[in-house]
């Protein structure tokens, strides 16, 4: 009797969770081998180090429709791997079959984003962000207590939470941590662009011309073609992680006030997060409202369609007047370069899918 009691106390205190005789308990903190190619190491959360068990739990949750009210909509319904974890729709469709008001963002290299998530930056970090779509009435429309109840009813989940956190207590905090851990592992650093930088492949002539334009400033004499893209979409991340207005609309036609909705500052009007261009060939349509269907349309916009407004970024100066003066060939070269940012390994890697 004494030994049994001792065993129970031991189990409860040391191997928390093993009091449930239904499943075996092993709390394994196997460090997750975070590989980031030639990208600089990011600052990862220090309170919960990435472990294989927590990342695996996060992956399961990311693909599970139980996080939604109807049981049908998972994070991956709108963030699909083949589309760079975006959804190739103008506006995503939520549990009620109704569209939202913004384009689903790709989930790529988020471990390096520190200035806020969503197009308007309203969420400070992935752990906070992860619970927004669950509660969002258009997206998953579920109450967190219900999600917790549904997961608690599953032996598989009780086991997975035990492996990940040491006991089978399922809380919204732990759900958020696990989702955060999975999203931190979505690293794309193996595109043709990366391989060319490493000297393993060569860009074609057109891609190389596009690269040079992307990386150059506008030359008013017209001798050298420069498209100014690097200011905001600088390699290796192809985003500066800031909120900017790239001149899609003028003051009279703003529909979505973007960053101003969060800060209340008119200077932030229609500023949106500068998106990464990695895997951009797969994440169409483009911009926060999915207004452009193709990369050709996007490049044409930057060449001669940028509009002036009270908050348009000063870096758009040359796009406004006289326009970048790119030829059709120049536009095609820029698009060719953008296509070198596709990372097939990232888009197909089985580690991001459910086995
Ligand atoms: C109905 C479609 C839909 C579902 C379901 C959905 N998302 Fe999203 N996601 C979006 C849209 C749309 C945005 C942009 C919203 C905005 O900016 O207001 C977004 C933005 C994000 C971002 C911000 C990325 C960045 O670069 O700032 C993250 C992270 C994210 N979602 C993760 C998740 C997770 C985790 C889940 C599941 C718990 C989820 N999403 C479920 C449509 C969806
Ligand atoms: C002043 C900063 C800035 C410059 C310069 C700039 N961009 Fe952007 N880019 C943005 C912002 C901000 C967005 C998102 C705007 C929105 O959705 O409202 C964006 C969006 C995009 C998108 C769509 C991404 C997506 O996921 O929907 C593409 C493609 C793109 N830019 C390519 C380029 C190219 C090519 C150039 C050079 C010709 C360029 N950008 C120059 C700020 C900039």
- Nearest ligand 2 atom to the CA of 302 is 38
- Write out pLDDT tens, residues 182-209: 999 999 999 999 999 999 999 999 999 9
283 lines ligand 1 (CB under 6 A): no
Q: Best substitution site from 58, 75, 98 to test ligand 1's pocket, by max atoms within 8 Å of Cβ?
A: 75
Residue 83 has pLDDT above 50, yes or no: yes
- Both tokens of 10, joined, read 């031991």
Q: Are 180 and 58 in contact (CB under 8 A)?
A: yes
- Write out pLDDT tens, residues 233-275: 999 999 999 999 999 999 999 999 999 999 999 999 999 999 9
Could you give the CA distance from residue 78 to residue 160 in angstroms, rounded to a whole number? 24
pLDDT for 95: 85
61 lines ligand 1 (CB under 6 A): no
- Write out pLDDT tens, residues 309-333: 999 999 999 999 889 999 999 999 9
Burial 84-95 (b: 16+ CB within 10 A, else e): bbbbbbbbbbbb
Residue 18 has pLDDT above 70, yes or no: no
102 lines ligand 1 (CB under 6 A): yes
**Which residue is closest in CA terms to ligand 2's atom 36?**
229
pLDDT for 253: 93
Could you give the CA distance from residue 120 to residue 263 in angstroms, rounded to a whole number? 9
Tell me how crowded residue 127 is: count the other CB atoms within 10 A of its CB.
21
Residue 231 has pLDDT above 50, yes or no: yes
**Which residue is closest in CA terms to ligand 1's atom 2?**
78
287 lines ligand 1 (CB under 6 A): no
Mean pLDDT of the chain: 92
| Residue 242 CB burial class (10 angstroms; 0-12, 13-18, ≥19) | middle
77 lines ligand 1 (CB under 6 A): yes
- Nearest ligand 2 atom to the CA of 316 is 1
- Write out pLDDT tens, residues 101-128: 999 999 999 999 999 999 999 999 999 9
Place of tokens 């709390």: 27
Residue 6 has pLDDT above 70, yes or no: no
Distance between Cα 239 and ligand 2 center (Å): 9
Give the pLDDT mean for 207-228.
94
Q: Are 31 and 51 in contact (CB under 8 A)?
A: yes
**Cis? peptide before 322, omega within 30° of 0:** yes
14 band by pLDDT with thresholds 50, 70 and 90: very low
Tell me how crowded residue 335 is: count the other CB atoms within 10 A of its CB.
20
Residue 42 has pLDDT above 50, yes or no: yes
Distance between Cα 140 and ligand 1 center (Å): 10
283 lines ligand 2 (CB under 6 A): yes
Distance between Cα 113 and ligand 2 center (Å): 17
Q: Are 283 and 342 in contact (CB under 8 A)?
A: no
Residue 279 has pLDDT above 70, yes or no: yes
Tell me how crowded residue 290 is: count the other CB atoms within 10 A of its CB.
19
246 lines ligand 2 (CB under 6 A): yes
Could you give the CA distance from residue 117 to residue 75 in angstroms, rounded to a whole number? 15
26 band by pLDDT with thresholds 50, 70 and 90: confident
108 lines ligand 1 (CB under 6 A): no
pLDDT for 3: 46
- Write out pLDDT tens, residues 153-173: 999 999 999 999 999 999 999
274 lines ligand 2 (CB under 6 A): yes
Q: Are 279 and 108 in contact (CB under 8 A)?
A: yes
pLDDT for 4: 44
Quote the percentage of the chain above a pLDDT of 90: 86
pLDDT for 21: 53
Q: Are 141 and 69 in contact (CB under 8 A)?
A: yes
Q: Are 86 and 104 in contact (CB under 8 A)?
A: yes
Distance between Cα 270 and ligand 1 center (Å): 19
302 lines ligand 2 (CB under 6 A): yes
């Amino acid at each position: 009797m004494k030994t049994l009691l001792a065993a129970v106390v031991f189990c409860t205190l040391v191997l928390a969770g093993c009091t449930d005789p239904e499943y075996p308990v092993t709390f394994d903190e196997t460090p997750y081998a975070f590989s980031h190619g030639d990208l600089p190491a990011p600052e990862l959360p220090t309170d919960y180090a990435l472990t294989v068990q927590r990342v695996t739990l996060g992956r399961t949750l990311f693909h599970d429709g139980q996080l939604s009210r109807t049981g049908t909509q998972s994070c991956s319904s709108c963030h699909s791997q083949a589309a760079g974890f975006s959804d190739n729709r103008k506006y995503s469709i939520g549990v009620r079959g109704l569209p939202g008001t913004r384009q689903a963002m790709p989930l790529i290299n988020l471990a390096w984003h520190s200035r806020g998530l969503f197009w308007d930056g309203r969420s400070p970090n992935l752990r906070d962000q992860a619970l927004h779509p669950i509660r969002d009435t258009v997206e998953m429309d579920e109450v967190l207590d219900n999600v917790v109840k549904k997961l608690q009813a599953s032996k598989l989940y009780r086991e997975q939470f035990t492996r990940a956190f040491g006991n089978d207590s399922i809380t919204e905090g732990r759900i958020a941590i696990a989702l955060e851990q999975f999203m931190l592992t979505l690293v794309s650093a193996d595109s043709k662009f990366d391989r060319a930088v490493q000297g393993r492949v060569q860009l074609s002539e057109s891609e190389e011309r596009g690269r040079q334009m992307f990386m150059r400033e506008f030359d008013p004499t017209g001798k050298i073609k420069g498209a100014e893209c690097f200011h905001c979409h600088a390699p290796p991340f192809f985003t500066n992680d800031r909120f900017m207005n790239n001149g899609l609309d003028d003051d009279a036609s703003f529909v979505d006030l973007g960053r101003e909705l969060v800060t209340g500052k008119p200077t932030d009007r229609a500023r949106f997060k500068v998106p990464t261009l990695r895997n951009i060939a797969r994440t169409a349509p483009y911009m926060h409202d999915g207004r452009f269907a193709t990369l050709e349309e996007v490049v044409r916009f930057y060449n001669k369609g940028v509009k002036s407004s009270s908050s348009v970024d000063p870096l758009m100066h040359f796009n406004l007047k006289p326009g970048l003066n790119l030829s059709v060939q120049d536009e095609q070269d820029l698009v060719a370069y953008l296509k070198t940012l596709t990372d097939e390994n990232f888009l197909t890697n089985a580690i991001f899918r459910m086995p």
